[in-house]
């Protein structure tokens, strides 16, 4: 390998003397040791590949890049090379995906459980309250969803000390990056192949990533269950979306492979052009809608006025297949995650004891804020906890001294605002060196990673048509940052190298 040689740190390559356990979490090699000339060459080729293969996002420096496709694109922020990840934990994350799918479905059918678990949150969190109001209306109408489609992503961090794969959260709405994540795996495989002499890494150790095909197939099958060949799939979008290419990838696969047409509409447009026929069918701008796929509607800013809420209600009342339905959406809230972690709750929803054990093994410590012993400990040792409101999309959690300050403030105020939050055990994944690529510039930094495994679920009445894991998303962020939003600029898209 000559001047391009890397210093391998992994037991697999150099030290058979290393303990197996230890080797499984150590980076395969240290990308910081790549010679500058080689690094330049790899990143140049990576940038070209991203541009030619649609691994792109809207550039925040370009004004129209969130509105008009083809304008102001930049390569997606990526890790230059894949992150090593133990095969055993990878297998575990894939294996539990269908169980989590089923769990969401079962929880969604228990309207009383959802309403009661969120009843205190409802009083202090206006957004959750509005979602619950829609859910209540559906319960009153006795609305049944025979065809249920879930496109989920369960996110994990591998706790370094305990070697446990612990769930961060389960996303049931707008699970992002099924499109781009596949491309990152392909990019990395290409680079490992092209630079195999210099890097000595095996491209086949990057598992196949089928997220976009899995999601598109589930959407297409749901569409065909609806059984109206003229109907479309409607993607609910934000008025400005820099991550539009991730969404367009899905629409493109739907069109080219499944011959299903999609339309993109904002909540405001759905309010203006939506019509509910007497038989429950939904028309938007004159088009019959078979499936509603939400890539908006998960955050309060998506509802700037009553009009957007009207649109959400209209869709929920319709017979179109909603991905997610209001009850799937609520089943994915952090509060429900915390309620499911209480003793004997999983058993209410999952019949198989092995399944219960597998799911429980992924649960980190989760508590509500009426647990005074935990509150006391979290005030004393705030760095060991994360405080989470009922929000999605990153950037909402509270860490470190802010945990302490907020808990003290809530204690003193004596109102019920505490019910807006849950407390979670802070997970500390192993820190590894990484080379991050953003805006055409490479950065060497210490990083931590979060693995998301996508899951697709489709059923029609008692017939489960799809229940599987499908692809993955690795996100790597600089270890000094608490939260790792890719859009927010801390994290990059990554893939995994199985060790
Ligand atoms: P969101 O729905 O906004 O994505 P998450 O629960 O995923 O909310 O939290 C956002 C980010 O915060 C995660 O991607 C992760 O980087 C970090 N985070 C969340 N929970 C924990 C935890 N228990 N320990 C360590 N980091 C966490
Ligand atoms: Mg989330
Ligand atoms: Mg998250």
Q: Is 459 a catalytic residue?
A: no
Could you report the predicted ipTM of this complex, rounded to two decimals? 1.00
Contact status, residue 497 vs residue 25, Cβ threshold 8 Å: no
Exposure pattern of 43-78 as b/e (b: 16+ CB <10 Å)?
Answer: beebbebbeeebbbbbbeeeeebbeeeeebbbbbbb
Give 318-342 pLDDT, tens digit per residue: 999 999 999 999 999 999 999 999 9
Distance 276 CA to ligand 1 centre (A): 38
> Kind of pairing, strands 432-438 and 463-478?
unpaired
Which residues fall within 8 angstroms of residue 464, CB to CB, at 6 or more apart? 457, 458
DSSP letter (8 states) at residue 278: T
Distance CA(475)–CA(493), nearest Å, equals 5
In this predicted structure, what is the pLDDT of residue 210? Answer: 97
Q: How far is CA 158 from CA 89, 92, 493, in A?
A: 8, 11, 17
Q: Would you say how long the chain is, in residues?
A: 499
Cβ atoms of 283 and 313 within 8 Å: the answer is no
Q: Which two tokens stand for residue 113?
A: 């459980």
Give the model's pLDDT for residue 29. 83
Closest ligand, as measured to the CA of 170? 2
Q: Which helix (H) or strand (E) holds 374?
A: helix 372-380
Question: Among 236, 238, 212, 245, which residue's Cα sits nearest to residue 72?
Answer: 245
CA trace torsion 433, 438, 443, 447 (10° rounding):
-20
119, two tokens: 């009843």
CA of 35 to the centre of ligand 3 (A): 35
The answer to whether the bond into 324 is cis (omega within 30° of 0) is: yes
Residue nearest to atom 9 of ligand 1 (CA): 394
Catalytic residue among 169, 308, 339, 418: 169
Candidates 447, 475, 479, 495; catalytic one:
475
171 is catalytic: yes
Ligand 1 binding pocket mutation candidate from 166, 169, 367, 385 (most atoms within 8 A of CB): 169
Mean pLDDT per segment of 10 residues, for the chain of length 499 residues? 32 35 54 96 98 97 97 98 98 98 98 98 98 98 97 98 98 98 98 97 98 98 98 98 98 98 98 98 98 98 98 98 98 98 98 98 97 95 98 94 96 90 98 97 96 98 98 95 74 97
Q: Which residues line ligand 1 (CB under 6 A)?
A: 155, 168-169, 364, 386, 388, 391-394, 396-397, 424-427, 450, 483-484
The protein residue with its alpha carbon nearest to ligand 1, atom 16, reads 483
Give the Å distance between the CA of 337 and the centre of ligand 1: 13
Q: Note if 393 is an active site residue.
A: yes
Q: Report CA(406)–ligand 2 centroid distance (Å).
A: 22
Q: Give the residue carrying structure tokens 């979490």.
A: 25
Could you tell me which residues are beta bridge partners of residue 148? 459
Pick the catalytic residue: 41, 186, 392, 483?
A: 392
334 is known as an active-site residue: yes
What tokens were used for 390? 């009922």
pTM for the predicted model, two decimal places: 0.94
Please give the backbone phi and psi of residue 163, each rounded to the nearest 5 degrees, phi first.
60, 30
Structure tokens at 108: 């969604």
- Partnered with residue 154 across adjacent β-strands are 170, 453
Ligand nearest to the CA of 393: 1
Neighbours of 276 (CB within 10 A): 16
Judged by its nearest atom, the ligand closest to the C-alpha of residue 332 is 2
Q: Is the torsion defined by CA of 157, 159, 160, 162 positive or negative? A: negative
**Which tokens in the block code for residue 48?**
């070209």
Measured CA to CA, the distance from residue 435 to residue 441 in angstroms comes to 10
Catalytic residue among 54, 111, 273, 393: 393
* Euclidean distance between CA atoms 492 and 445, whole angstroms: 12
> What letter does residue 243 receive in the DSSP assignment?
T
What's the 168 CA to ligand 3 centre distance in angstroms? 7
Question: Tokens in use for 214?
Answer: 């899995």
Q: What is the pLDDT of residue 482?
A: 80
Q: Please give the Cα distance from 467 to 400 (Å, whole number).
A: 38
Q: Give the atom of ligand 1 at the shortest distance from the alpha carbon of 448.
A: 16
Q: Any catalytic annotation for residue 475?
A: yes
Listed in order, strand segments (DSSP E) in 60-208 are 73-75, 78-79, 83-85, 147-158, 165-171
Burial of 483 (0-12, 13-18, 19+ CB in 10 A): middle
- Over residues 272-299, the pLDDT tens digits come to 999 999 999 999 999 999 999 999 999 9
Alpha-helix runs per DSSP H in 259-340: 267-273, 306-317, 326-331, 334-340
Catalytic residue among 148, 205, 322, 388: 388
- Closest ligand 1 atom to Cα of 396: 3
The 3-state secondary structure of 186-208 reads HHHHHHHHHCHHHHCCCHHHCCC
d(CA 437, CA 384): 31
| Span from the CA of 172 to the centroid of ligand 2 (angstroms) | 8
- Which uninterrupted H or E stretch holds 71? none
Q: Which ligand is nearest to the CA of 168?
A: 1
């Amino acid at each position: 390998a000559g001047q391009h040689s890397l210093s391998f740190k992994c037991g697999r390559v150099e030290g058979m003397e290393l303990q197996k356990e230890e080797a499984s979490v150590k980076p395969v090699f240290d990308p910081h040791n790549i010679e500058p000339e080689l690094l330049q060459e790899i990143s140049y080729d990576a940038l070209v590949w991203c541009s030619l293969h649609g691994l792109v996002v809207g550039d925040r420096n370009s004004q129209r890049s969130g509105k008009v496709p083809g304008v102001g694109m930049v390569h997606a922020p990526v890790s230059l090379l894949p992150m090593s990840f133990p095969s055993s934990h990878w297998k575990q994350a894939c294996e539990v995906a269908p169980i989590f799918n089923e769990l969401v479905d079962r929880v969604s059918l228990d309207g009383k459980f959802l309403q009661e678990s969120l009843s205190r949150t409802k009083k202090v969190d206006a957004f959750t309250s509005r979602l619950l109001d829609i859910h209540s209306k559906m319960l009153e109408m006795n609305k049944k969803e025979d065809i249920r489609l879930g496109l989920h992503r369960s996110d994990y961090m591998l706790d370094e000390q305990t070697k446990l794969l612990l769930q961060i959260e389960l996303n049931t709405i707008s699970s992002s990056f099924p499109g781009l994540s596949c491309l990152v795996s392909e990019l990395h495989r290409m680079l490992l192949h092209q630079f195999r002499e210099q890097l000595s890494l095996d491209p086949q150790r990057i598992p196949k990533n089928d997220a976009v095909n899995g999601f598109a197939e589930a959407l297409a099958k749901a569409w065909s269950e609806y059984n109206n060949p003229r109907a479309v799939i409607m993607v609910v979008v934000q008025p400005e979306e820099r991550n539009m290419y991730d969404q367009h990838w899905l629409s493109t696969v739907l069109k080219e492979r499944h011959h299903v047409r999609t339309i993109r509409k904002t909540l405001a447009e759905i309010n203006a052009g939506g019509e509910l026929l007497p038989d429950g069918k939904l028309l938007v701008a004159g088009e019959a809608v078979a499936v509603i796929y939400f890539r908006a509607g998960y955050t309060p800013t998506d509802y700037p006025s009553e009009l957007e809420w009207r649109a959400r209600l209209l869709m929920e009342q319709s017979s179109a297949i909603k991905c997610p339905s209001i009850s799937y959406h609520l089943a994915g809230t952090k509060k429900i995650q915390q309620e499911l972690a209480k003793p004997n709750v999983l058993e209410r929803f999952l019949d198989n004891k092995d399944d219960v054990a597998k799911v429980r093994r992924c649960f980190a410590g989760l508590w509500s804020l009426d647990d005074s012993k935990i509150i006391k400990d979290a005030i004393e040792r705030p760095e060991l906890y994360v405080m989470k409101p009922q929000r999605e999309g990153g950037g909402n959690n509270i860490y470190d001294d802010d945990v302490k300050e907020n808990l003290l403030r809530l204690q003193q105020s004596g109102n019920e605002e505490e019910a807006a939050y849950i407390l979670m055990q802070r997970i500390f994944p192993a820190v590894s060196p990484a080379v991050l690529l953003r805006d055409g510039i490479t950065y060497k930094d210490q990083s931590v990673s979060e693995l998301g495994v996508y899951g697709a679920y489709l059923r029609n009445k008692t017939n489960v048509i799809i229940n599987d894991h499908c692809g993955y998303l690795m996100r790597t962020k600089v270890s000094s940052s608490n939260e790792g939003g890719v859009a927010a600029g801390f994290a990059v898209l990554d893939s995994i190298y199985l060790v």
